Amino acid sequence: MGTVVLLFPLFFVVITAFAPADFKPSVNWIPSSFTFNNYVRAWTQAPFILAFVNSTIVALVVSFTQILTSLLAAYALARLNFPGKNTVLFMVIATLVIPFQLLVLPIFLILRFGHLINTYGALILPTAASGFGIFWLRQYMETIPNSLEEAAMLDGADRWQILWHIIFPLTRPAIVTLFLFAFIGEWNDLFKPLLFTTKPSLQTVQQVLAGFQELFTADWSLLMAAVVIGTIPVLVLFLVGQRQLLRGIAATGLKN
């Protein structure tokens, strides 16, 4: 029953996207006929190709940057001993409770000072590092036995070799999980593009969908078709990486 409740909105969106233009959801829940024309209209009436390119660039760069920064910081917090380690970990965790909206003004001033407003940098740099990612990978690394690193050190490996040839491969499920979280979060983000960009050439998928909502409020079929088009990439990505996602989530809470 719970699955039905959760999946019903998705079912309603897909069904409505195939309905005729005069379909009224408030009158009939199921359309009397189905058409693919809504997808053609949605694709031709909005710059989806440009939006897909922009959203893909931003989501991929942010995701890989978060993986790199999180991997390095997490390894230091999980394996190295240095003064203030617990304080740094506490500060990383503290960032998880600070809403991004509270940081908008200082971030905007920094971006303007660096002449990054209306550039890809304004969409990428504010989320290039993630406290969640650092904590997530650190927890996963805690499940990896120290004996593996000790054996590698006895064979002459240094910290960098251990990180890239031992820790990185073993942390792959958590890294894939972080990639999926970061990519989907960036793909669905409307807040940053609205605040830090005004150029039409930098429009993302979510901005296009927001524009559709304003222009075609009464045309439910067209709106739902646009929503389905904007959702397909993240849905495909989730289906491809779901096994690694479940492995990463299951293993992150374990301890040796």
User: What pLDDT sits at residue 27?
Assistant: 55
The reported pLDDT for the residue numbered 19 is 77
Residue 13 located in a structural domain: no
The residues near 60 (Cβ < 8 Å, ≥ 6 apart) are 183
**Distance between CA 6 and CA 126 in Å, rounded?**
32
Residue 101 structural domain: 47-252
Any domain includes 64: yes
CATH number at residue 228: 1.10.3720.10
The DSSP string of 8-51 is: HHHHHHHHHHTS-TT--TTT-SS-SS--SHHHHHHHHTTTHHHH
Is residue 212 domain-resident?
Answer: yes
Total number of domains in the chain: 1
* DSSP letter string, 128-145: SS-HHHHHHHHHHHTTS-
**What's phi and psi for 154, nearest 5 deg?**
-65, -25
C-alpha span between 231 and 137 (Å, rounded): 27
Residue among 218, 236, 212, 214 nearest 41 (CA):
212
Task: Please report the pLDDT score of residue 247 as a whole number.
Answer: 66
- Token reading at 180: 């999926």
Per the domain annotation, does 2 fall within a domain?
no
The CA R_g of the chain, rounded to the nearest whole Å, is 22
Buried (b) or exposed (e) across 90-111, using 16+ Cβ within 10 A? eebeeeeeeeeeeeeeebbeeb
Kindly state whether residue 1 falls inside one of the protein's structural domains. Answer: no
**Residue ranges in the chain modelled with pLDDT below 70:** 1-4, 21-33, 215-218, 244-256
pLDDT of residue 254: 46
Residue 189 covered by a domain? yes
Dist. CA 126–CA 209, nearest whole Å:
23
- The reply to whether 200 falls in a domain is yes
Residue 6 counted as domain residue: no
